[in-house]
Structure 1
């Protein structure tokens, strides 16, 4: 990996630090945020991009259904924030650059819903696509963590694994049980807020249940996986640990580290993100 962070990435990081949500570093503000989300009205997400209804779940779609690759993209947002313009733009780029049909479901979120609700919704969507050639599960942050939990879960219901797994900065331990975490250095996330949100997402499950924290699950027989993570992000040590678990369980895994970079850096308009898309294209062509 290159040790030189681009000038544009440095600017982006400065902006992110300025915009970092207060609830990430304050339990009181995190509790207020969770309560606000609990009282917020659920309504369809508006976007210029197309979506369809699947068993009552809104699913955004990018590219052609007959494309070479099919990507089921699970968006991040700490399991509490809905899909946003950043995800839409990235899914659009994936469809164009990778000759892919990309599906991005608006899955049930905390605190009104918990992980079990999302598993039920995503399982049915997955079943409708599992026979597609070159099916790739992809996700960022919380969505990346969900992908690994979901693929572990697939083994328990005798469903086929996807052809490949690609994640960006996956949240693999919502219990945040391996401190110290570099909350003060991470321009996006904070340990205090994440712990509170994680409890809400787990619902009746332990925060160390594999269905919410894949770090503690059995990853044997998972598909080949490619992980991108920023060296300076709060999840980096947990991601490295999970990559080692994948290797231990016999999974063909590659971890690509963005030197001195931040959480989900591939989704930002920085030069390093272009390199990531090229890496993914080569990975899918192998």
Structure 2
């Protein structure tokens, strides 16, 4: 965790070339070029389809065969894909020893809110319908993908679906009203975003709809009944208060939540694994959390199978009961 590493990452963003008035295609291509990282050699990738949407399956050589990670990429609901985030998703999957599926949910402006949430919920439902047990299913996402994770959990709960074992969100964007104080207090520290840049992403995604809707800005949602959450953020980002307020809202709604903020690192710093010690530390922490949640779900499932009340013949009377 050296100051030199942090300064190098900060300079990388501040010195990045700026292209005035790029087209949407240029924005998407530039984003992909800027953030894509190579896959580890011990992670196999293949394209698939989940709930009618393209998806990327990532299977680490060390995957245990138990548990599944459902991943939602970042990109402000406008740019990004499973491919742009395959490197960091694979890093998380291999450290957690979990097979991961990253969904290519629909993007704005072609498909504004609630298309992304609909796709997230459909993907979650499809995994359950396909035989993945909720107790051994975990979710993860970064930035807008982190917001989509929380919105998907809320939508799943409201649809009567069982909750997964847990979820991890990196630098989640959960307030599209852009109302956090860090929009102002961290504007000089953040090397990536300005409030105006975030507004330019929120506007096409919302397409005139209320930004405070709970599924668009889940920091305003009722989070009761959600599974344990791990929220990670950097102190050098204007979205810091999104992470802090999400954790506070979750705690107030009786959700088990852990908030970790790493000092002097930017938005989704986890993508700098291998170059920034904090990134590797954060990914290790997230992997331990996901592995523990899957293990706890598996053990709870095994305990239920061993429960003598569950295994008794329902036609036989139980001792001590009428």
TM-score bin, normalised by smaller chain: 0.7 to 0.9
Structure 2 equivalent of residue 198 of structure 1: 202
Take 1:178 and 1:20, find their aligned partners in 2: how far apart are those partners? Answer: 28
Take 1:13 and 1:61, find their aligned partners in 2: how far apart are those partners? Answer: 32
Take 1:82 and 1:21, find their aligned partners in 2: how far apart are those partners? Answer: 18
DSSP 3-state at the match of 1:60: strand
* Cα shift at 1:20: 7.0
Q: How has the CA–CA distance of structure 1 residues 214 and 93 changed in structure 2, closer, same or farther, with 3 Å as cutoff?
A: same
Structure 2 equivalent of residue 276 of structure 1: 282
Which structure's CA Rg is the greater one? 2
DSSP 3-state at the match of 1:218: coil
2:259 counterpart of 1:255: yes
Structure 2 equivalent of residue 187 of structure 1: 191
CA RMSD of aligned residues (A): 2.7
- The answer (yes or no) to whether the contact 1:38–1:111 under 8 Å persists in 2 is no
- The answer (yes or no) to whether the contact 1:139–1:166 under 8 Å persists in 2 is yes
Structure 1 residue runs without a partner (length 5+):
23-28
Take 1:51 and 1:124, find their aligned partners in 2: how far apart are those partners? Answer: 18
* Cα shift at 1:197: 1.6
Take 2:256 and 2:51, find their aligned partners in 1: how far apart are those partners? Answer: 34
List per-residue Cα deviations over 1:15-63 (Å, max 9, x = no partner). 11112757xxxxxx6xx55xx328999xxx9x98411123541100101
Paired positions, count: 271
2:33 counterpart of 1:63: no
2:174 counterpart of 1:168: no
* Cα shift at 1:5: 4.7
Take 1:112 and 1:238, find their aligned partners in 2: how far apart are those partners? Answer: 26
DSSP 3-state at the match of 1:128: helix
Take 2:112 and 2:127, find their aligned partners in 1: how far apart are those partners? Answer: 24
Higher relative contact order, structure no. (Cα contacts within 8 Å, ≥ 6 residues apart):
1
Structure 2 residue runs without a partner (length 5+):
33-37, 40-44, 294-322
* Cα shift at 1:249: 0.4
Structure 2 equivalent of residue 10 of structure 1: 7
Take 2:136 and 2:52, find their aligned partners in 1: how far apart are those partners? Answer: 26
DSSP 3-state at the match of 2:85: helix
Q: How has the CA–CA distance of structure 1 residues 19 and 125 changed in structure 2, closer, same or farther, with 3 Å as cutoff?
A: same
Take 1:57 and 1:72, find their aligned partners in 2: how far apart are those partners? Answer: 13
Take 2:24 and 2:6, find their aligned partners in 1: how far apart are those partners? Answer: 31
Structure 2 equivalent of residue 73 of structure 1: 71
- The answer (yes or no) to whether the contact 1:6–1:271 under 8 Å persists in 2 is no
* Cα shift at 1:241: 1.5
Match for 1:265 among 265, 269, 276?
A: 269
